[in-house]
Chains A and B, each alone.
Chain A
Amino acid sequence: MTPILQLRAVKAFYGQSEVLHGIDIAVERGGMTVLLGANGAGKTTALRAICGTVRREGEIIFSEHRLNGRSTEQIARLGIAHVPEGRGTFVGLTVEENLRLGAYTCTGTPHENMQRMYAYFPILAERRRQQAGALSGGEQQMLAIARALMMSPQLLLLDEPSFGLAPLVVESIFALVERIRREHRVSVLLVEQNASLALEFADRAYLIETGYVVSSGSAKALADDPQIRRSYLGY
């Protein structure tokens, strides 16, 4: 089966400085792929390159579409939902308005999808009329994921969903993402610092260092790699 997303020799730039130096990544249809790497390796930039929020070169293929030259909003309309670093919720809008915005590209009423999200994340139903800025960090992360899922995407890009959250909250968010992935057949590309947790849920993994992919394979193979264990898993 062909991957849902393929990056071939992708470079990315901030101004003149090249941050990704030609990376190759494939995300299997229906699977969960994780990008690992230290701070500043270029993981976030890789997701930005896919969504076109950063200047990029090389081939990016999603299903049968070439993403190069498409604008961010066009890419979203193709069915790629991105939960960016820092969550990107609309803090001045209510929870429900955030969810409605998630469904902006969908025709028809978002009602059914919204009920589904409230079932996944009951706390959001309780807080539907509150400003998103008044939610706790974990609740905002749930809102960000729920908003992304409102567009019924084929591919979900998640940038460090565990950031700043208590271990228990992280576990529950990962479990939910896993459940949603299976129930909705969404493919997931995950960026995560918490390598041990990510490798537990993902089926494929890439290790990025200073803008290069230095290692890739099945999540299990990477988890067993002694060098990766030492540098990223700490045992």
Chain B
Amino acid sequence: MHQLLQQIFSGLAAGAIYASLALALVMIYRATNLVNFAQGEMAMFSTYIAWTLVNAGLPFWGAFLITLAVSFLGGMAIERIVIRPVENAPILAAVVVTIGLLLIFNSLAGWIYSYTLQEFPSPFPDRPLFGALMTTRDIGVIAVTLVVLAVLFCFFRFTTTGLAMRAAAQNPESARLCGIHVGRMLAIGWGLAAAIGAVAGIMVAPALFLDPNMMSGVLLYAFTGALIGGITSPVGAVIGGLIVGVTENLVGTYLIASQLKFTVALILIILVLLFRPNGLFGTAIVRRV
């Protein structure tokens, strides 16, 4: 029983990271109907920026905030420079562009930082809590994720810009008629997604070590989470990410060799899509024509 709870809890900590990245995927999907395959590599690159800043002697949380700001601007720039030209192109062209971005960020990171594993500092001490039921690191990761989610929720729910972003994602033409700069909203969306991804990367790096391929597995789990939740639902993405984290951990501990853990993600995707093609929370919009 104790071990089970322990595994569930560390699963939640991993799941919180998947949830963040899944949320980034969903944000971009909702705004542009585009699956951003580069989301993981963008997060990885952000993590290298944080690592550089920490190595330059900045305090961890200072480096964290600067990295978020840089990632936000970088995400906006990517939207402007790379995504906007293919905005009206066939969807396949846009998908290929994001895959191209993935490769560019991966090789850029390899070229600048090399492919050797780097140790990444954890902001949280790794101390057992409550009779080793959980660690302070798990708590820290979950807390940071919750803060990010709360900030995002308030942004979208209570600010005019957040509302305008939702409107632009839903009905760009009507949004323009309301005077909303739809292009600017898309850019902000990419910026936010990049910043959320940066949080995921920085939270996962101490456990995985930092290297240019660090996020490939995380991205797969995040995809799984997003699909389970229904790729259009932010709440679904978060819950989906947590489900994946816990399932992965339990299955890896009790059922199969942990080398096979990735298979779990694929099986989860297939199972969910078999029974609920729109995911658990997908397409909740009531529509009457």
Q: Could you list which residues of chain A lie within 8 angstroms of chain B, going by C-beta atoms?
A: 51, 53, 71-73, 76-77, 81-82, 84, 88-93, 97, 100-102, 104-105, 131, 133-137, 140, 147, 151
Contacts and interface: CB of A to CB of B under 8 A. Distances in A.
Contact of B177 (A72, A131, A135, A136): A72
B243 to A, nearest CB: 24
A90 B182 CA distance: 14
A84 B160 contact: no
Give the residue among B166, B170, B174, B176 with the most A Cβ atoms within 10 A: B174
Interface residues of B, number: 21
A97 B164 CA distance: 10
Contacts of B174: 84, 88-90
B177 A84 contact: yes
B127 interface: no
Nearest to B232: A92
Contacts of B180: 73, 101, 104
Given A93-B170, A97-B163, A104-B160, A72 B287 contact: no
Given A90-B174, A92-B166, A101-B178, 14 more contacts: A53-B173, A71-B176, A72-B177, A89-B174, A91-B286, A92-B170, A100-B160, A101-B163, A133-B285, A134-B286, A135-B288, A137-B288, A151-B178, A151-B179
Given A90-B174, A93-B170, A77 B179 contact: yes
Contacts of B287: 91, 133
A84 B177 CA distance: 9
A131 to B, nearest CB: 5
Interface in B155-198: 160, 163-164, 166-167, 170-171, 173-182
A81 B177 CA distance: 7
Nearest to B171: A90
22 contacts: A53-B176, A53-B177, A76-B177, A76-B178, A81-B177, A84-B173, A84-B174, A88-B173, A88-B174, A89-B174, A90-B167, A90-B174, A92-B285, A93-B166, A100-B160, A101-B175, A104-B160, A104-B180, A133-B285, A136-B288, A147-B178, A151-B178
Minimum-distance CB pairs A-B, first 5: A105-B179, A76-B179, A88-B174, A72-B176, A92-B285
Contact of A134 (B160, B177, B179, B288): B288
Contacts of B285: 91-92, 131, 133
A82 B179 CA distance: 11
Contacts of A135: 288
A101 B176 contact: no
- Looking at chain B's contact residues, is the secondary structure mostly helix, strand, loop, or mixed? helix
Contacts of B182: 73
Give the residue among A92, A97, A105, A137 with the most B Cβ atoms within 10 A: A92
Interface string B245-289: 000000000000000000000000000000000000000011110
Contact of B164 (A76, A81, A92, A104): A104
Given A53-B173, A104-B160, A93 B167 contact: yes
A101 B285 CA distance: 18
Contacts of A105: 178-179
A88 B179 CA distance: 14
A152 B164 CA distance: 18
A133 B283 CA distance: 13
A76 B287 CA distance: 26
Nearest to A88: B174
A14 B285 CA distance: 31
Give the residue among A71, A91, A97, A134 with the most B Cβ atoms within 10 A: A91
Contacts of A89: 174
A22 B179 CA distance: 27
A93 B156 CA distance: 12
A14 to B, nearest CB: 14
Contacts of B175: 101
A73 B181 contact: yes
Contacts of B177: 51, 53, 72, 76, 81-82, 84, 88
Contacts of A84: 173-174, 177
Nearest to B284: A92
A231 B128 CA distance: 85
A93 B287 CA distance: 11
A180 B199 CA distance: 50
Given A84-B173, A88-B177, A90-B171, A100 B163 contact: yes
Nearest to A86: B289
B184 to A, nearest CB: 9
B286 A131 contact: yes
Contacts of B176: 53, 71-73, 76
A137 B171 CA distance: 18
B164 A101 contact: yes
A99 to B, nearest CB: 11
